[in-house]
């Protein structure tokens, strides 16, 4: 659930005083002052679907279930990723989505993904870690890197100092 989606969500009139909180695993929590309001909010959330039929605001990620998958940004914002997180995380969550909503596991299960061995995606403190790693050293195209505008940044990002202008 994206914050912009939640901001544009018009709550049912009988739950207009709901408080919103984002958890450390990017789940969205709504807090209301009665069970009736919670049930109305739950019904409203489950009635909203994407054009393809999947839930727009799935309910789950609490109790003995799977939380949202925490992951790094990969190719979008990082200089050293071995892979990108979005496709892997989407495919993984599609496979385990039922465990996100049903809370039937023996305990809470946390999955995370890091795109390289720097492991900034909280894989060290999760139950299941998905980790991208380089199988071969990346090849440097010296003609291209000489013309790149962020050469100092690229040189600083190389963990083995293999990139040189």
Residue with tokens 């962020």: 150
- Both tokens of 64, joined, read 């003995």
CA-wise closest residue to 57 among 68, 67, 70, 47: 47
- pLDDT of 83 strictly over 90: no
pLDDT of residue 92: 94
The more confidently predicted of residues 81 and 47 is 47
CATH architecture of 70-157: 2-Layer Sandwich (3.30)
- pLDDT of 12 strictly over 80: no
Per-domain residue ranges of the chain = 3-47, 70-157
- pLDDT of 165 strictly over 70: no
| C-alpha to C-alpha distance for 68 and 65, rounded to whole angstroms | 10
Residue with tokens 């309001």: 37
Least confidently predicted of 13-17, 45-49, 84-88: 13-17
- pLDDT of 14 strictly over 90: no
Please state the rounded mean pLDDT for residues 30-59. Answer: 88
- pLDDT of 9 strictly over 60: yes
SS3 99: helix
- Both tokens of 11, joined, read 């709550």
- Both tokens of 140, joined, read 């440097």
- Work out the pLDDT band at 3, boundaries 50, 70, 90: very low
What does residue 67 show for φ and ψ, rounded to 5 degrees? -85, 175
- pLDDT of 116 strictly over 70: yes
Residue 35's Cα: distance from chain center in Å?
29
- Work out the pLDDT band at 119, boundaries 50, 70, 90: confident
pLDDT averaged over every residue in the chain: 80
pLDDT of residue 111: 92
Burial of 164 (C-beta count, 10 Å sphere; 0-12/13-18/19+):
exposed
- Neighbouring C-beta atoms of residue 124, cutoff 10 Å: 10
CA-wise closest residue to 62 among 105, 112, 126: 105
């Amino acid at each position: 659930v994206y914050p912009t989606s939640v901001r544009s969500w018009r709550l049912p009139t009988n739950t207009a005083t709901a408080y919103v909180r984002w958890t450390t695993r990017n789940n969205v929590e709504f807090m209301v002052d009665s069970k009736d309001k919670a049930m109305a909010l739950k019904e409203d959330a489950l009635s909203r679907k994407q054009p393809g039929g999947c839930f727009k605001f799935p309910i789950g990620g609490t109790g003995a279930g799977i939380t949202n998958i925490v992951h790094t940004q990969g190719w979008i914002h990082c200089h050293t990723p071995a892979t990108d997180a979005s496709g892997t995380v989407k495919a993984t969550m599609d496979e385990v989505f039922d465990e996100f909503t049903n809370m039937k596991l023996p305990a809470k299960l946390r999955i995370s993904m890091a795109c390289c061995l720097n492991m900034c995606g909280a894989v060290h403190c999760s139950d299941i870690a998905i980790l991208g790693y380089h199988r071969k050293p990346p090849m440097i195209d010296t003609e291209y890197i000489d013309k790149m505008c962020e050469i100092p940044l690229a040189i600083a990002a190389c963990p083995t100092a293999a990139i040189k202008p």
